Amino acid sequence: MTLSVKFDDIELGKYIKVLQGFTPFVGADWNPSFVKAEKQNGSDFAYTSYENKQIVMPFTIEGNLEENYDALQKALKVDEPKKLVFGNVPNKCFYAIPCGTLEFSEETEFLGEGTITWLIPDGVAYSTAEFDFYGVQQNGYQTITIKNDGTEWADVDYEITHQHENGFIGLVSQYGTIQLGKVEETDVEDYEASEILINDKFSPSTSGWVLNNATTVHVVSEHKQTGNLAITNGTGGYALRVTDYGAGEQWHGPSWTKQVPRDSNGHTGAKNCTLSWHHYFTTSTFNNRGVIQFLMTDRNKKNVAAMTVFKNELGNNRGYAEFFVNGLNKGKIEFDCSWDNPRTGQNAGKSSISKFGDRFEFNVNGEVKPFTVPEMIDIEVTEISIFIGAWGSGEGIGENHVYSIEFTSHSVDAQRDVPNRFQAGSVVQINGESTKVYVDGVASAGHEVTGTDYFKVPPGTTEVQFYYSDFSSPPPTIKAKIREVYL
């Protein structure tokens, strides 16, 4: 029976017979190097290495010489080393290329003899089988014990399958370290979430408000809190309306105050927040005079911010919105108090005060006025109020009521997921020979950190430690694999 020889997955035994006595066991071509010291006899040994290997294979061709010779030449025509397997050592392969002239002589019409010289550029053979080694879970990492029964150092491939998000992959041995991704990457990040703490669309069932306990700001004079408010049905539906202004010589009227509830973390107060509302403010005659204040107060019952909408002049329809921070007037706008005005009219009136640290924004139905007050950066709002008033014995404003009010904290401590480098379900493959990384089958650059060394493992046993993000639970699974290398 002729010896099987497969080259580039083509069985050459179809065309040739290898002569008896042939062996692929050709030793390494060692090349010691020395250093010559000046004024010294002899040399110092430096190192030794081996060169490429040549295997000379004698063969015969029987039968149709021309046909088999041409088929052989076609099989041998390659432009790079290809896999070469001899049937007497089927568990090993070489990566070879034909070298020199294919010597061939025609002995008879139906018999020819020749030799093929196989050049093995790297001078070694490889196991045809891959050997797999799996990670064993330890406390926060895994160990992989790789057994190399070859005679040479071997490249190691890794396959990591993720069951949870992961920020980095670390492979550590005494021969080097591979790191992909960043150790410091986290799974969550802290941020300040927004949470609606008061959302009152005024109706008969609205509750939680206290009468005449507001901290007001002053427009011209003090605002006396007296009288009463109620939720009644009227123009535009249910709204908070004055039922009794009480009595007073200047600005006077009732107020409602509500404490800001605890947020989802149990904290009371917000240094970043928005108070928004929908109200209707319009005159019935030019002689109307009235005011409405929307107020934000701290835990010491001091003003944080307020918007005051008022008309205090007789004989015209001019109104104002003034903006207060820390009890001080920071600015104002002027508007017409007609029923359809774009600031407080029947189809308008959606306004707000926002506080973001030391920055305040007053929004009068789309017209925004910002102010920065550094000393207010850490002050928290703990209650809100509405004050509605009239001047002296005057008749008040024709329509001066509130449909809804909302308080949103933007200071709720929360955490959110950070999309990590390696997602749950993703498979990372590391090719030790090419030093390329693949994520889900796609070559993926930019993961490795400076200093990464795609280390080989020597003959014998090597322990590799596999590290990953501590939040990656359940942990990834890892498989290492090698092809053994032989001289």
Beta strands in 109-183 (DSSP E): 111-120, 125-127, 131-134, 136-137, 142-148, 156-161, 168-173, 176-181
Residue written as token pair 């019409």? 109
What is the mean pLDDT of the segment spanning 125-145? 97
| pLDDT confidence band for 1 (50 / 70 / 90) | low
The answer, yes or no, to whether residue 134 has pLDDT greater than 70, is yes
Predicted pLDDT of residue 21? 85
- Cis omega (within 30 of 0) for bond into 474: yes
Predicted pLDDT of residue 43? 79
| pLDDT confidence band for 41 (50 / 70 / 90) | confident
CA-CA-CA-CA torsion for 400, 401, 404, 409, nearest 10 degrees?
Answer: 60
Least confident of 17-26, 146-155, 158-167: 17-26
Residues 4 and 11: their CA atoms lie apart, in Å, by: 7
Q: Is 406 exposed, middle or buried (0-12, 13-18, 19+ CB in 10 A)?
A: middle
Residue 248 in tokens: 């007073």
Cα separations in angstroms, 269 against 83, 201, 264, 277: 74, 22, 12, 19
Strand, coil or helix: 260? coil
Helices (H), 303-434: none
What is the mean pLDDT of the segment spanning 209-233? 94
The answer, yes or no, to whether residue 315 has pLDDT greater than 80, is yes
Q: Is 46 exposed, middle or buried (0-12, 13-18, 19+ CB in 10 A)?
A: exposed
What would the pLDDT profile of 370-427 be if each residue is shown by its tens digit?
Answer: 999 999 999 999 999 999 999 999 889 999 999 999 999 999 999 898 899 999 999 9
Measured at the CA of 268, the angle between CA 266 and CA 271, to 5 degrees, comes to: 125
Residue 300's CB: how many other CB atoms inside 10 A?
8
DSSP 416-436: EE---SB-TT-EEEEETTTTE
What would the pLDDT profile of 425-481 be if each residue is shown by its tens digit?
Answer: 999 999 999 999 999 999 998 899 999 999 999 999 999 999 999 999 999 999 999
Helices (H), 80-153: none
